[in-house]
Structure formats: C-alpha cells, structure tokens
Amino acid sequence: MHGARAMAAALALALAGADVDACADAALAELPESTEIGRNARHALRLARSGDGTFAIVPLLEHQIVDHVYSYGIAAAETVPVALALATAARGRIAEAVPAAACLSRVADSAPALAGALTGALGGGAEIPAAWRDACRTLSGCALPRLTGTDLVELAELLGATELTTPGG
C-alpha cells in the first residue's frame, strides 16, 4: 500500500506541473523510513542524485536495491524505488528512464511501467519518442481479437472527452 500511495503522490504532482525532484520528494513523504520500501527509496534516490547519469546508476540499483535471493521481482519495495531513482536520474526524460529500467532484469516486468508512468506524466505525450508511439498505438488484438485495429490515442481522446457523471444522477 505504501508503494501505491507513493506513486500516486508523485503522479499527482507531475500532472500538476511539478518537477521530478518535487515528485520524488512527495513519494518519499508516503514511505515510512522504518519500512524496507522507505529505506530502499531513500537510498535509490541518493544514488540517482549523485549526478552520475541514468545508465550509470543501473548497476548500483541492480546490486544495492534489487533482491537476488528471493524470486519476487515485482515487489513494490524494489520497483517503486527503482522507478523513482531512474525518473530522477533521467531528469524526467522518458526515453532514458524506461530503457534503463528495462536493463534491471528482475524488475523489468514492472519498473519500466512505473518509470514510464511518472516520466510520461512529467513530460506529456510529446516527449514519448515517435517510434515508441507508432509501435504501440494500434492494438494487434492478440489477447482480445475484437480489439484488433483499435487506436489507443483515439480511445484516450474519447475517454478524455467523456463527461463523468455520478451514480444515479
């Protein structure tokens, strides 16, 4: 639950126009220092703020944050700190944070998504490389054949234009 609250706090600030440092600090405020996720996030952000660059901290995160004993690579105590650190080291640039997160094999199923969500919120759709947008814009329908050809950008625009109503009203 701490991880979800931390990412929600970071994303809320990113969507309001805050910079990556303010977002990371908001996330930290949701992570008690006495917890594994809190300790990991603080350590990971110290590494990120060392100024050595996004890909330079990948080996440090690999050996100091990511657990290699237990097989639970999707644990929030690892993925949230990794995502926050890489978004911070990349200064909010999605094209750096996401590939760097994918380099951490034990958390490659989750950290790129979290790093991408935060950096995407920070930079907006225009910061997503065109090749990335083009590659995943249209659904192939492999899991749900009826969705073959669905354009995700058009779908997002439709959802964005939909007026929300209250239940029963």
**Residue 22, exposed/middle/buried by CB under 10 A (0-12, 13-18, 19+)?**
middle
Which of the four pLDDT bands, split at 50, 70 and 90, describes residue 167?
Answer: confident
74 inside domain? yes
Residue list for the binding site for Mg(2+): 109-110
Q: Are residues 141 and 106 in the same domain?
A: no
Give the separation between CA 107 and CA 80, rounded to whole angstroms. 10
Please tell me the predicted confidence (pLDDT) of residue 8. 98
Domain coverage including residue 18 = 2-129
Are 29 and 91 in the same domain? yes
User: Which residues carry a binding-site annotation?
Assistant: 109-110
Question: How many separate domains does the chain show?
Answer: 2
Predicted TM-score of the model (pTM): 0.87
Residue 167 lies in a domain: no
Q: Are residues 110 and 150 in the same domain?
A: no
pLDDT digits (tens, 9 = 90+) for 110-157: 999 999 999 999 999 889 999 998 999 999 999 999 999 999 989 989
CA angle 88, 16, 110 (to 5 degrees): 45
What is the token pair recorded at 54? 């996004």
Tell me, yes or no, whether 166 lies in a domain.
Answer: no
Residue 156 lies in a domain: yes
Instruction: Say whether both 141 and 125 belong to one domain.
Output: no
Q: Are 94 and 124 in contact (CB under 8 A)?
A: no
